[in-house]
Structure 1
Amino acid sequence: MTAWPFPRWIAHRGAGKLAPENTLAAFRVGAAHGYSAFECDVKLSADGQPFLLHDATLERTTAEHGTAGDRVWAALSRIDAGSWHSRLYAGEPLPSLEAIARYVQCNGFALNVEIKPTPGVEHTTGQAVGEACTRLWQDQATPLLFSSFRPEALQGARETAPQIPRALLVDTLWPQWFDVAQSLGCVAVVANHRLMDAALVAQLQGAGLRALCYTVNEDADARRLLALGVDGIITDAVDRFSPFAALPVASGAAA
């Protein structure tokens, strides 16, 4: 297999339990716990600006309502995306992809951009994110990976940013998932950790693909996956899993 630039431990949505997910604040919290690789969700505003948000709608992580992708970036950028989490983060804004790119590049961090399109614009979102990342990562050496549950989004990204590696996300092993991953030129598959077993690791790694898992927050699950030899673990538990340890131990404890 080709060289893999990501560390094994990846912070989910920045540090999306300790701070408001998919915000710069969450990235800073993850970095404070020693993490150097991050995952985030990216979609498009109505005027084509890539920005960070997991859900199609705004209700869960802001005080606003409705489909986020129906609003222009000037309106989205003024939304409070922190108060839902705690008073400490009141006023924390939704970040643009460009803001996150500058942050990880300045710190030499790796980034896994999950392309999370608003339903109905999967291919267009992939194309736009690919174009943006081609521009933002020009002459940059910091590792970047695209992932998505939507093959159409990965195909769009492949068309505009063929040089950026891709990974297929799977929550179930649906028919032809493996063939789709290969046809898209993926370098990895990111699976629900409950799916990952020795046979799946062997299938992926035997085909030259990296085997990653989400979202791993329990010690027993992490130990099982590390014993299987997975290549990456995406976690919310940045305060409990040290990214420097060979086995999951509390951050700050001896490896």
Structure 2
Amino acid sequence: MIIGHRGVAALAPENTLSGIRKAAECGLDWVEIDTQLSADGIPVIFHDDTVERCTDGNGKLETFNVSALKNLDAGSWFDKAHSDERIPTLEETLAFCLDEGVSINLEIKVYRDAQVAPLVEAVSAVLASSAFPAEKLLISSFSKNALMRCKAAIPQCRFGFIADKRNISDLDAFDDVGLYSVHVDHRMLTSELAKEIKSKGYILNVWTLNECEKADAFIGMGVDNIITDDPTLFNLK
């Protein structure tokens, strides 16, 4: 199966509703998106800790309240045709994905340990008040602290550990999380590592693969899902 990275980041502005719509148009069942908190404690969909790269604003995302974030142009950096794009809240995104029939791999995006508890609390509250089905949601993070807090707050969800060269040695430390999946930077996945992950019974995903010619080799290693910026490169689903 192919999962759209930050929506479909090669085809539409990342982490936006238009990106999710484009993913649905491409026939995808799942998208990966990121959430973090505004200054007034609202979970929004955004990746970077600063707003410069993907909006016309400047500064740390966590210093903007949600109304200020909504005033930013979140699309023109990608293409002028997207000048009306705005940063969506998690609440808006859940409703939109439900309407579009798209499931969500939601990354709990934290840049400081102090962000974990308030973000998980806010995300849990939004999920509790939404009609979004648990079976259409996967919560992922690089942070064990975030995943453990999510497990306590929303135990009905499935959880994924995101691994790269900085933290893959911590894999065994996640045994008590009750993981569903492990998401590995494709540049570091080896047959040995894939075998170890699969031996634990985990679903194995790779990110962010944009070279279709490598897909067969990863599938041969036991990879279940490919997270990509451009699903049109692949003849799989």
TM band (smaller chain)? over 0.9
Does the aligned pair in 1 maintain the 2:135–2:157 contact within 8 Å?
no
AA aligned opposite 2:123: V
Q: CA RMSD in A?
A: 1.7
Map of 1:136 onto structure 2: 130
Distance change (3 Å), C-alpha of 1:200 and 1:137 = farther
Map of 2:225 onto structure 1: 232
**Aligned pairs for 1:113-128 within 5 A:** 113-119=106-112, 120-128=114-122
Per the TM alignment, residue 42 of structure 1 is displaced from its structure 2 partner at its CA by: 0.5
SS in 2 for 1:223: helix
SS in 1 for 2:39: coil
Cα distance in 1 for partners of 2:192, 2:131 equals 36
After TM superposition, the score normalised by the length of structure 2 is 0.93
* More deviation, 112-121/49-58: 112-121
Does the aligned pair in 1 maintain the 2:2–2:225 contact within 8 Å?
yes
Per the TM alignment, residue 225 of structure 1 is displaced from its structure 2 partner at its CA by: 0.7
Map of 1:63 onto structure 2: 56
Per the TM alignment, residue 205 of structure 1 is displaced from its structure 2 partner at its CA by: 1.7
- Report the number of matched residues: 236
**Aligned pairs for 1:205-220 within 5 A:** 205-220=198-213
Per the TM alignment, residue 183 of structure 1 is displaced from its structure 2 partner at its CA by: 1.9
Per the TM alignment, residue 175 of structure 1 is displaced from its structure 2 partner at its CA by: 6.7
Aligned-residue sequence identity (percent) comes to 33
Q: Which has the higher helix share?
A: 2
Does the aligned pair in 1 maintain the 2:31–2:102 contact within 8 Å?
yes
SS in 2 for 1:213: strand
Q: Which runs of 4 or more aligned residues in structure 1 lie more than 3 Å from their structure 2 counterparts after TM superposition?
A: 173-176
Indicate yes or no: 2:36 matched with 1:72: no
Cα distance in 2 for partners of 1:72, 1:83 equals 21
Instruction: Give the unaligned 5+ runs of structure 1.
Output: 1-7, 245-255
Map of 1:221 onto structure 2: 214
Per the TM alignment, residue 141 of structure 1 is displaced from its structure 2 partner at its CA by: 5.9
User: Which of the pair has the greater relative contact order for Cα pairs under 8 Å at 6+ separation?
Assistant: 2
SS in 2 for 1:239: helix
SS in 2 for 1:26: helix
